[in-house]
């Protein structure tokens, strides 16, 4: 039974896509770095808990729907993924934090349910815009990043905390 996709397991590979078995609990550091992977699918009963640092850095990943069981994404996990357009976080997600450092030099739309917006931590040395598309709303808004936390209430008013 496969539990861990080890460090560098598919780095630099020509693999286009993969469906991970539900038994996988961790994707190791650099596991898919610099690979040609375009899609990664998770079973509905996925037990994935951790995506390691740099797991998909510089890959050709196009989009990803994270499994609800996921609770940790490492630094630069999706950085420098120039083809990455959408990251979807499910309504029942167990993620403990979402931060810009997970996606440096990538500009995906992060689809986040309104109930989970308090998980988002914005911190950056650059004044860049990060796009967040509401999962249950029909608009997109832009937030400049510069070392601040943001929480959005049910009426979608932005407040600094």
Buried b (16+ CB within 10 A) or exposed e, 97-109: ebbbebbbebebb
Backbone Cα Rg of the chain: 15
d(C-alpha 36, C-alpha 45), whole Å: 26
3-state helix, strand, coil in the chain (%, to 5): 5, 30, 65
Mean pLDDT throughout 72-76?
93
* pLDDT tens figures, 112-140: 776 676 666 555 444 334 444 444 443 33
What distances in angstroms separate CA 76 from CA 98, 133, 158, one per listed residue? 12, 21, 26
Average pLDDT, the chain: 78
- Which pLDDT tens digit goes with each residue over 136-160? 443 333 444 433 344 444 333 333 3
Pair 137, 114: CB distance under 8 Å = yes
Report yes or no on whether pTM surpasses 0.95.
no
Q: Which residues pair with 121 in a beta bridge?
A: 99, 149
CA distance 104 to 81: 9
Residue 37, pLDDT above cutoff 80: yes
Percent of the chain having pLDDT more than 90? 52
């Amino acid at each position: 039974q496969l539990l861990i996709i080890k460090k560098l397991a598919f780095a630099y590979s020509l693999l286009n896509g993969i469906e991970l078995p539900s038994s996988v609990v961790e994707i190791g550091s650099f596991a898919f770095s610099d690979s040609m992977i375009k899609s990664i699918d998770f079973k509905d009963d996925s037990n994935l808990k951790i995506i390691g640092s740099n797991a998909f850095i510089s890959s050709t990943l196009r989009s990803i729907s994270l499994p609800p069981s996921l609770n940790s994404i490492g630094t630069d996990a999706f950085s420098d993924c120039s083809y990455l357009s959408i990251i979807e976080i499910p309504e029942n997600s167990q993620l403990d934090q979402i931060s810009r450092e997970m996606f440096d030099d990538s500009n995906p739309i992060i689809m986040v349910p309104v109930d989970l917006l308090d998980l988002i931590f914005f911190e950056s040395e650059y004044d860049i815009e990060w796009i967040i598309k509401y999962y249950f709303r029909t608009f997109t808004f832009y937030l400049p990043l510069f070392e601040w936390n943001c929480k959005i209430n049910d009426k979608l008013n932005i407040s600094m905390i």
